[in-house]
Amino acid sequence: MKFSCEKALLQSAISTTSRATSPKNSIPALEGILLEAGNELRFTAYNLETGIRTVVPAEIGEAGSLVLSARKFADVVGQLPDDTVTVTADGLMVHIQCGATEYNIPAIDPEQFPELPDVESQSVLSLSRGMLSDMIGRTIFAVSNNDGRPILTGSLFEVVNGILTVVSVDGQRLALRREKLEKAPPVELSFVVPGGALKEVRSICGEGDEEVSILIGTRHILFQMDNTLLVTRRLEGEFLNYRQSISWKSEIKLKADVRQLMTSISRASVILKENSKNPLRCIVGDGELYLSSVTAADGNSYDICPVEGSGNDLHIGFNHRFMMDALKAVPTEEASLLMGTPSTPCIIVPVDAPEGEESFLFMVLPVRMSASWDK
C-alpha cells in the first residue's frame, strides 16, 4: 500500500475516526484505525458499538489495507511538518515520510479488524447539520448514565406529521426539542440512539446547512455526513412515555430573563460543591424569585431574580446543576417557568407557546425539603 496526502487532511481523518476506537482493548485492532487504499482512501474505526468511516482525498500509488494504532498514528502525524505526507507499507511495517522527517512504525493485520455492520435501511430521515447538531446539543445533557435502564441511556427520535422530536430522560429531568422538517418522511418514525454515539455525531456535524441523512435499520442507525458516516446500534426496549410524564397542572406561570436567572442561580449556589446534596432553595414571590443555599461547612448564600408573575410564596428546592443545565439549553432570551406545588416539577417552555407545540421543553423534578425555611 502506498498513498500521499496533505498532513492537515490526515490529522482531520485521524481525529474524526479515533472517536470510535476502543482504548486499552484486549483486541489490538479495536485500538486502531483501518486504512484502506483502493479507488479511494478510507479510514475506519469501530469499537463494536459505534463505527466511524471517512474518505480522505489522497493520491494512491498502490492499493492495500492495514491497521495502525490510533494514538501512535496521531502522535507521528502531529510531529510532521505541514506538507504532503507519504505512507508506504511493506508487509506490517509502515514507512511515513514528510520532507526530511521519516518514521517506521508497526501495523496490525487488517484481518483482525471487525467489519462494520450493514444497515439495511427501512426508512431515511434528512435534515440539516445545524438542526441536528442543535437538537442533540439541547437534549443530550438529560440522557441517563444508569445502565439499569439501558433504553434511557439514549435519546428518542420521533417523526410525526412532519415534526421531528428529540427527547432525553434520566429520571430526574427531561429535555425535549421539536422542529418541523423540510423533507418529511412518508411514514411515522420512532427510534432510540445511544447518547455516546450522538455526542460523536454532534462533534462531526458542526454547523451549516449541508444535509445529513439518517438511515434507520432494524438493528442499527447510520448517519451520513458528506464523506463521513457513523453507524451505531439501536437501543431496544420501551422508552418512557414522556407525554404522560409532563405535568401540565401548573398554577404558577413565571416569565424570566434566562441569562439573568442563570446568573442568580450561579450566585446563590456558589458555595455548593459539585456533587452537593444540598438543594438550591427557591421561594416564588410576587415578581421576585428568592434563591438561597445553606451548608453546614461553607455557610450560606442568597440572591434575588426579578420575574413576571407571582408564586404565592411557593417554597421549592432543586438540584442547582440540573436547573443550570436546563437553562443553558434554552435557545431564547426569555422563557416561561411553570410550577405547582413543592413536589411537582418545574417546566421550562417558550413564552406563550401553545401546549404540546413547544419548540423546546425542559422539566426538572424538585428536591424534597426536610426542614422549614424562610426568606
pLDDT for 236-284, tens place per residue? Answer: 999 999 988 887 778 899 999 999 999 999 999 999 877 777 899 999 9
Identify the architecture of domain 2-112 in CATH: Roll (3.10)
pLDDT for 224-236, tens place per residue? Answer: 998 999 999 999 9
Contact 151, 237 (CB under 8 A): yes
Q: Specify the residue for cell string 404540546.
A: 356
Q: Which CATH superfamily is domain 123-242 in?
A: DNA Polymerase III, subunit A, domain 2 (3.10.150.10)
- Please give the order of strands across the beta sheet that includes 280-295: 189-194, 154-160, 163-169, 173-180, 360-364, 346-349, 334-339, 252-257, 299-318, 280-295
pLDDT surpasses 80 at 374? no
- Read out DSSP for 246-303? S----SEEEEEEHHHHHHHHHHHTTTS-TT--PPEEEEEEEEEEEEEEEETTTEEEEE
Fold of 246-364: DNA Polymerase III; Chain A, domain 2 (3.10.150)
pLDDT given at position 10? 97
The residues spanned by each domain of the chain are: 2-112, 123-242, 246-364
pLDDT for 46-60, tens place per residue? Answer: 999 999 999 999 999
Close Cβ partners of 140 (under 8 Å, ≥ 6 residues apart) = 155, 168, 175, 195, 198, 199, 202
β-pair partners for 57 = none
pLDDT surpasses 80 at 220? yes
- 108 DSSP 8-state letter: B
Least confident residue range of 78-87, 173-182, 362-371:
362-371
Nearest-10 crossing angle of helices 7-17, 70-79 = 150
pLDDT given at position 246? 87
Contact 132, 101 (CB under 8 A): no
pLDDT surpasses 70 at 112? yes
Q: Per-residue pLDDT averaged across 143-147, rounded?
A: 92
pTM: 0.91
- Read out DSSP for 127-161? EEHHHHHHHHHTTGGG----TTSGGGGEEEEEEET
Same fold yes or no, 2-112 and 123-242? yes
Question: 372: pLDDT confidence band, cut at 50, 70 and 90?
Answer: low
